Structure formats: structure tokens, C-alpha cells
Amino acid sequence: MPPDPAPISAETKPARVIFVTGPSGAGRSTAINALEDLGFEAIDNMPLGLLPRLLEGPPLDRPMALGTDARNRDYSAVGLVAAFDRLAQTPGYAPDLLYLDCAADVLQRRYSETRRRHPLAPEADPAQGIAQELALLGPVRSHATVLIDTSALTPHDLRAEITRLFAPEGAGRLAITVTSFSYRRGLPTGADLVFDCRFLRNPHWDSALRPEDGRAQKVQDYIATDPRFAAFRDQVIDMANLLLPAFEAEGKSHLTIAFGCTGGQHRSVAMTEILSAHLAEAGWHVSKRHREVEQRRAEGTSTAPKGPEATRT
């Protein structure tokens, strides 16, 4: 049985624990990943016998998602239902049993398209394993507190539904990183949107500005004298205003916007500062990074910035 939890004060919310299960191929991995992106501590393929040890100690500091199905070594439908019922009766916990359902013919088509073997019938037709698993999971399905039929859902649709149902207050928003870089050292890994700033007026050729970087107001003022700057800045901001809500609605959890220039010190840094400030003012969760400036600082070759250098807004 689960251990007695630590004392819960009247102000403490019950710890949320979601059991995620369903037939193989119904989208459990997608659901677990979506919950993890929402801030849940996610553990997939967890043996039920480890649940008591997992819940020992102080109260959970964040919600937990536990993925389990017929492939687990000590899995049983009766055992899963019993574990859920015990946790539901334990003070300090608020569990849900999420069952991802799917029609047998859709599951069979998915196995056919991916050419995977069914875990319950690895040497036989997947239809045999699907039928066996659906029969095994009958008691769990009837006990579910949340049931999502994924037969007609794409992975994006399922992520959106998980977000709608389980996003903690304040979670589920798109997290944005804006970064500057030098083309000499290559594009940042994982950049989603990349803008080339090398056409803008370059402060490198002004001896007074060369030691500075794009965080300094006088460097930004210098770049702003380029007749193409205002149109470029405005169109980048307009594009961000258009795309970010669409990415968030699709269920994307993180987006990286990168600005590049020759040395990664002036123009790209200035645009990173400008866009980050705009996004923060608009209410987005945004962090910023200046890759080359940070690298030079680590090597002891950079000049300390003259203005604020907060790296998170």
C-alpha cells in the first residue's frame, strides 16, 4: 500500500498524480511527453510494485504522470485499479486515471503502417495482440476518470487535448528563447526561426563602438541609423506576433528565435535585445542568450557591458 504522506497543511493543494494507460499504439508516449512539457514529473513504463517507494518521503513538489501498460512486468488491470483506488483514498493526493482509447481497426492500421510487432503477440498477427490487450484492459477502461478516444486524433490533436485537460494554472504557455550568434561559428542547435542581420550597418567599423556589444544603447542607436533597420525590426516583430500564437495553439512548448551577424557581437545582439523586450512586454515567457558574447566573457576577452545584462525576462 502507498505510505502515509507527510502532513498536509490547509494551504497545500493535494498532489496531482495521473496514471496514463491504454492499448499499445493509442498514443501513451505522446500523452506522457505532453504532460512532461506541462511541468509534470513523467515516468513511463513504471512497474506498479514501485509505486509505494516512489511516493515515500515529503509531499510531491510538482504533479506526476505515471505511464503503465500491459508491457510492464508486474502489470495487471486489477492491480492498476487497486493502486489508483488506494491513492485516491490517501490524504494529500488527487489522482486521475487517464485511459487513451482507440478503435481496434485503427490500432491495426497503425501497426501496419509502422511495421511494429504487438508486445502481446510478437510472433503473430497484430490483430491477435490488439484483441487480447483490449480484453485485458476492460476493467481499467471502465474505471477511468478521463477517457480520450484517439482514433481520429493526430499527435498534435492529442497534445492539444492533454493541454486543455491537464495544464496547471500558468503552464502550457509557449516558452521562447531569443539568441544571437556569429555565422562564423555556425547556427545555434535547434533554432526554429533564423534571421540574418549582416545587411545592417556594422558598428565594428566605428573604433569607438567596436569594443561594445549590441546591449549598449549607443550601439543600438548606431544600427538604427541604417535606413533599412526600422522596416526590418517592424516586420520581424509582426512575424513574431503572427506566428507565436499559432505555435502555441499547435501545442509547441518551446521556440528558439536566432539572430545572426558576422561576429555575433553587435547587430544580432541588438536585435535579440529588441525582440526580447517586445515579447516580454507582450506577456510571453521569454529568455535571451548572446552566444558569442558569453563565449568571449568566459575566455576573458570581452568588455563588461555598460547597461543591464539580465539574461531572463
> Between these two residues, 235 and 80, which has the higher pLDDT value?
235
Distances (CA, A) of 245 to 151, 154, 282, 284: 27, 20, 12, 10
> Between these two residues, 161 and 244, which has the higher pLDDT value?
244
Task: Report which of 67, 79, 52, 51 is spatially closest to residue 136, judged by C-alpha positions.
Answer: 79
For residue 307, the model assigns a pLDDT of 38
Predicted TM-score (pTM) of this structure: 0.55
Quickly state the pLDDT bin for 298 (edges 50, 70, 90): low
Average pLDDT, stretch 274-278?
95
Q: How far apart are CA 37 and CA 20, in angstroms?
A: 15
**Which residues are registered as beta bridge partners of 312?**
287
- Superfamily of domain 15-166 in CATH is P-loop containing nucleotide triphosphate hydrolases (3.40.50.300)
Task: Report which of 119, 46, 120 is spatially closest to residue 83, judged by C-alpha positions.
Answer: 46
C-alpha cell at 239: 512575424
Domain boundaries, the chain: 15-166, 175-299
Q: How far apart are CA 270 and CA 220, in angstroms?
A: 6
Quickly state the pLDDT bin for 37 (edges 50, 70, 90): confident
Residues 6 or more apart whose CB falls under 8 angstroms from that of 85 comprise none
Residues 6 or more apart whose CB falls under 8 angstroms from that of 109 comprise none
Most confident residue range from 51-65, 175-189, 299-313: 175-189
The number of CA neighbours under 13 Å toward the Cβ of 270 is: 28
Q: How far apart are CA 24 and CA 133, in angstroms?
A: 8
For residue 305, the model assigns a pLDDT of 41
Average pLDDT, stretch 167-186?
80
DSSP track, 258-274 = EEEESSSSSHHHHHHHH
> Between these two residues, 200 and 10, which has the higher pLDDT value?
200
